[in-house]
């Protein structure tokens, strides 16, 4: 019985420590991030804090963060007062937590370009899996276009899951059209609304994505 209690306790701790977050719409990620840029990973490594132990080796050390060196190719968002990333930046160092349980980003590949959203901590650039780092080829033309100004201009708009919420843009995550709203549109202010409501931007990409696909013979 005592052993069972210990196992349950350990299992409970594991659940508490696990990283869990709902996949956000790219507009939400963009608006909450302090920086967003496209860059190519040059190198990656786990950084360890050495312990004051005799004959210290990697077994006795614990990683303190993951470190990525990234070549900056295009900046979509940055802080004007932050010197780490500016319009003249060509190479930056990006950090993440060293464990999945801490929402660390551990699987970025060298020589691959990604969209990096993240925040500054003590003058350093940090990323996590709750603001997903996306392979650049996965970013759609519509998303690239919206990152040039539409997302920023509509950060007050809320993307919601509750169908009864008539002020924000309802995103039925998981239904057959949810990818269309994620990849092809943005939540924008409704200029015809007197109550400052928001709506999904209607465009040809969204309509084409939602239209029934012809069945193959």
**CA atoms within a 13 Å half-sphere pointing along the CA-CB vector of 165:** 14
Query: Within the chain, which residues score under 70 in pLDDT?
Result: 1-17, 51-60, 213-217
Q: Any known ligand binding at 169?
A: no
Domains of the chain: 26-137 (2.40.50.120), 150-210 (no CATH)
Task: Give the list of residues 6+ apart from residue 147 with CB closer than 8 angstroms, or none.
Answer: 30, 36, 76, 77
* Number of neighbours of residue 94 by Cβ within 10 angstroms: 26
**Mean model confidence pLDDT for the chain:** 86
Q: What is the pLDDT of residue 61?
A: 74
Q: What is the pLDDT of residue 83?
A: 78
pTM of the model: 0.83
Q: What is the pLDDT of residue 5?
A: 39
| Residues forming beta bridges with residue 41, ordered by sequence position | 70
Pick from 179, 144, 152, 197: which is nearest to 37 by CA? Answer: 144
Q: What is the pLDDT of residue 110?
A: 97
């Amino acid at each position: 019985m005592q052993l069972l209690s210990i196992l349950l306790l350990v299992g409970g701790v594991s659940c508490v420590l696990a990283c869990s977050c709902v996949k956000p719409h790219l507009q939400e990620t963009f608006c909450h991030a302090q920086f967003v840029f496209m860059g190519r990973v040059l190198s990656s490594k786990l950084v360890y804090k050495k312990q004051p132990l005799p004959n210290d080796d990697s077994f006795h050390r614990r990683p303190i963060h993951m470190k990525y060196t990234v070549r900056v190719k295009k900046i979509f968002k940055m802080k004007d007062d932050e010197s780490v990333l500016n319009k003249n930046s060509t190479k930056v160092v990006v950090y993440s937590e060293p464990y999945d349980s801490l929402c660390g980003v551990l699987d970025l590949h060298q020589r691959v370009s990604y969209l990096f959203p993240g925040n500054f901590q003590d003058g350093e650039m940090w990323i996590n899996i709750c603001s997903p780092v996306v392979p650049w080829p996965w970013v759609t033309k519509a998303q690239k276009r919206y990152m040039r100004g539409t997302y920023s201009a509509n950060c007050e708009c809320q993307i919601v899951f509750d169908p009864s919420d008539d002020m924000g843009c309802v995103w039925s995550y998981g239904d057959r059209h949810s990818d269309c709203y994620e990849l092809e549109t943005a939540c924008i202010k409704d200029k015809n609304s007197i109550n400052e409501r928001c709506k999904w931007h209607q465009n040809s990409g969204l309509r084409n994505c939602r239209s029934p696909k012809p069945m193959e013979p």
